[in-house]
Amino acid sequence: MSTVLEATTEDFPIAGTFTISRGSKTTASVVTCRITADGSSGWGECVPYGRYNETIASVLAEIEAIRPQIEQGLTRPQLQSAMKPGAARNAIDSALWDLEAKKKGKSVHALACLSSPGTLTTAYTLSLAEPEEMRKLAAHYAHRALLKIKVGTSDDASRIRAVREGAPESRIILDANEGWTAETLAYHFAICAEQRIDLIEQPLPAGRDQALATIARPVPVCADESVHATGDLSALVDRYDAVNIKLDKTGGLTEALRMRDAAMSLGLKVMVGCMVGTSLGMAPAILVAQGADFVDLDGPLLLARDRTPGLRYEASLVFPPEPRLWG
């Protein structure tokens, strides 16, 4: 039977508004890729990200360009060199993993020679807001073991202190989204140490983060926008303590697993993160996140509506996907 690739777009409303230093949105727009062959179908999801010069249209165009090769039998290993890392490759890579699992009657973790995945403690993200609003949000979610706080303003100190006041016992990841400067690093680092922050994500803009190599880092610093795939890692070890692996950056599970192992071998801590997407987009990342130091796979929790079936979340825990969803 012939192989058929289909790509569609879907919109999922966000519960309220999701705000970071670069802007706000009320809808998660995703691209879903389905590949059908030999009576089986596999699917995957990606989230185009404007920060990386991606749009729904550009991602659909990338998928359309590779369609003839996929339908002629391009394999998942061959895909890694046929497409660049990014959201489009992620959707196809995830669909090919799912298709292979269904055709062979095996789980993706078995195909990848990984141990059976277990439950994970995931962060829950609080959007950027005024300090008092962030304090109230933190207090509301203080029962969660790990919170991720969006900052990147001219007054982050007030926001950091407000969140800690609201959630005195939670572990906290701070995400500056490239919003700090070299001149304010020492000040912000001191505040973070004072407020018992566990991790700081991407304080400086990608490509302008050299100051991190020459300043004391009392709190571990994690690369996000500065790192996409395995080839980026070696240049970062002097300025970062951890890396945030996202499938929409790596271009799928295949590269993400490779990148995780390479990061660990370099002595870097591993965080596995996500864009705001559905359970389908999170499912492959559950495999990468096994054994990670930090897990941030809360995308579906930020939505007003998820896929059915979706991932199972209980308190701060996220469970591996059911085969009906993916893998």
Residue of 148, 150, 249, 269 with catalytic role: 150
Distance CA 97, CA 254 (A): 9
What contacts 130, CB < 8 A, 6 or more positions away? none
Amino acid letter for position 97: W
CA 150/CA 172 separation, integer angstroms: 11
CA distance 327 to 320: 10
CB 46 within 8 A of CB 253: no
**Has 249 been annotated as catalytic?**
no
| Distance (Å, whole) CA 199 – CA 187 | 16
Quote the CA–CA distance of 87 and 50 in Å, as a whole number: 11
User: Are 24 and 17 spatial neighbours (Cβ–Cβ below 8 Å)?
Assistant: yes
Quote the distance between the C-alpha of residue 153 and its chain's center: 22
Give the residue from 20, 298, 279, 285 showing the smallest Cα distance to 149. 20
Given a contact cutoff of 8 angstroms between Cβ atoms, the answer to whether 76 and 93 are in contact is yes
Pick the catalytic residue: 84, 103, 106, 246? Answer: 246
Q: Is 84 a catalytic residue?
A: no
d(CA 222, CA 203): 9
Residue 299 burial (CB < 10 Å; 0-12/13-18/19+)? buried
| Active site positions, annotated | 150, 246
